[in-house]
Amino acid sequence: MLSKSQIKLITSLRLKKHREKHNLFFAEGPKVVKELLESTFVVESIFATTAIPGIDEKDITRISEQELKKISDLKTPNKVLAVFSMPVTKELQLSGLTFVLDDVRDPGNLGTIIRLCDWFGVENLVCSKETVDCYNPKVVQATMGSLARVRVHYLDLGPFLKEQTKSIPVYGTFMNGKSIYKASLKENALVVLGNEANGISTEIASLITHSISIPKFGKLQKTESLNVATAAAICLSEWHRTTER
């Protein structure tokens, strides 16, 4: 049974200001919830309409499907919703390849990029402060649990990149950069991807040391651009293909 105060709290967590106020976020669905439960995230409460394999029944508060609909952010609620504490972000320690997002706004794109980082073994993802919050319910859902294994850092990108250019290459994805298939890709590097509509901002572009692009191969050459998550997937694949030779 859910109280009115519980419903009010959980639904308020759809907004960033309330997540920050309460230091809480929620995740939905058996797979995502179990992935986070098996990580270092601290769970506050678990609400489910039925028994969930892999989750101790004594830790679950049983609710009705109607109650789950009231707190869910999904069009079709999926059995379980859990509320977690937002962890304290650890100090960023760069190692290997690190992706940097400049003002990526779409939750689905960020969630997919986090999942891609997990797949390709990228431990750190650096985001501008304007990039969508990684604890947005739609981002959490799109990560499919990968949020448990990728550290997401929100920084002022200008000072951060200025410092990093002193020691490691900073690649940026542009429409007119050098083909990624011909570029010299370094194992220890930063790769910057930009906003869905405007690409990398002028300020950040000035800090890029290596401009790269994903060339078009279609005969008509009419496609304007790639989705930022698709571009991230191609970059990650090519980086690993090249640096693991």
Structure tokens at 5: 């105060």
Cα separation, 194 vs 100, whole angstroms: 9
**CB distance 101 to 113 below 8 Å:** yes
> Does 245 score more than 60 pLDDT?
no
pLDDT tens across 180-218, in order?
A: 999 999 999 999 999 999 999 999 999 999 999 999 887
Structure tokens at 35: 């992935």
DSSP code at position 195:
B
The domain over range 4-85 is classified in CATH as 2.60.40.10: no
Q: Say which residues have a Cβ less than 8 Å from residue 77's Cβ, sequence separation at least 6.
A: 28, 65, 68, 69
**Residue entry with tokens 């679950």:** 60
> Does 221 score more than 80 pLDDT?
no
> Does 219 score more than 90 pLDDT?
no
Which residues are bridge partners to 45 per DSSP?
A: 83
Residues of the chain within CATH 3.40.1280.10 domain(s) are 97-243
> Does 223 score more than 80 pLDDT?
no
Query: What's the CATH fold of domain 97-243?
Result: Alpha/beta knot (3.40.1280)
**The model's pTM:** 0.94
Residues of the chain within CATH 3.30.1330.30 domain(s) are 4-85
Cα separation, 125 vs 114, whole angstroms: 8
Cα separation, 209 vs 83, whole angstroms: 42
**What SS3 state is found at 35?**
helix
